[in-house]
Amino acid sequence: MNTMNQLKRKDAYSYFVKYHELKDSVYNTESRKKLFDLQIRSETEQRENEIALLSREKQLKVLEIKQREDEIYRQQILKYWIIVAAFLIILLFLFIHVYSVSKAAKNKHLLEQNLNLYMQKALSQQMNPHFIFNTLNSIQFFLLNNDKISSNKYLTKFARLMRITLDNSQSETISLYREIESLNLYIELEQLRFENKFTFKITTGADIDTELISIPPLIIQPFVENAIWHGIMHRDSNEDGKLIILFSISENNLICTIEDNGIGREKANEIRKQKKPEHISLGTQITESRISPINQLYNKKLNITYHDLFAPDGTASGTRVEICFPI
């Protein structure tokens, strides 16, 4: 009996052990399965995360590439418009330049035409028939009185003046020396016409080289003529008329001062209106008209200033004209 009980207890223990072994085996199998499932799930999630990350990186790279492509495209478009704008600006500047050059050339041509026209008028005014006739008439007087020396002297001066005047009219500028020579000849012939009723003096400053300084021709003579004809010759005084011409340098300008002791501009204008109301001083008017195209054509500032002179008692005692030549 005891033996049977012992055997039963031994079998029960054996079954118990097997039960637990089997239970542990089943548990371990399930655990391993669960662990495996967890591992699989973890790896799957990791792969999915990696795939998602790679996908996002790929999308970011695609987006970055697209942005770069868009930026390159925008830069190309901007570069294209810059080139087009630059081309249009160049065309505009070329058009403006061509237009300006064409307009400047046209204006220059017009100024040259006007200047040539005024030069011809100045030449015809200086060589007017009245002056030539009276000069030749005075020379004829010496011939009739058998004064061959004087007639030859003044005829030579007259021929020389005509030659110089014609030569000067062909040049844009002449030397001051040649201008003074022309003025001397002209005034000496006027002295002959008016029987030496006036004296004259031409003076140049010590710092002036008359050969080096150049001025436009036929500018000064009309004012000298005006001083003689309309100023000095209408004097009532028995005292001889005086004509003084002075050349000086002031601030890079040659100043020609023409001063007479005539009747003054106001009275001279009254006399001209009485004799011929429509009369105007053509010589000085033509000269003043020449100044504007000369200044524009050669970028000069040639100008003329008039000064009325008065005696201490307030009566007119002459006129001073200042002609400023930039040098």
The pLDDT assigned to 117 comes to 62
What is the rounded distance in angstroms from the CA atom of residue 90 to the CA atom of residue 101? Answer: 16
| Least confident window among 55-69, 216-230, 288-302, 306-320 | 288-302
pLDDT at 101: 86
Q: Where are the domains of the chain?
A: 1-126, 129-326
Q: Is the whole-model pTM more than 0.75?
A: no
pLDDT one-digit tens code per residue, 283-302:
677 777 777 777 776 677 88
Which of 208, 218, 127, 210 has its CA nearest to residue 172?
218
Q: What is the pLDDT of residues 130-170, one digit of tens each?
A: 678 878 888 888 888 888 888 888 899 999 998 998 888 88
In this predicted structure, what is the pLDDT of residue 160?
A: 93
Q: Is the distance from CB of 271 to CB of 234 less than 8 angstroms?
A: yes
What average pLDDT does this structure show over 87-102? 91
129-326 under CATH 1.20.1250.20, yes or no:
no
Quick one: tokens of 161?
């003046």
Calpha distance 294→301 (Å, rounded): 9
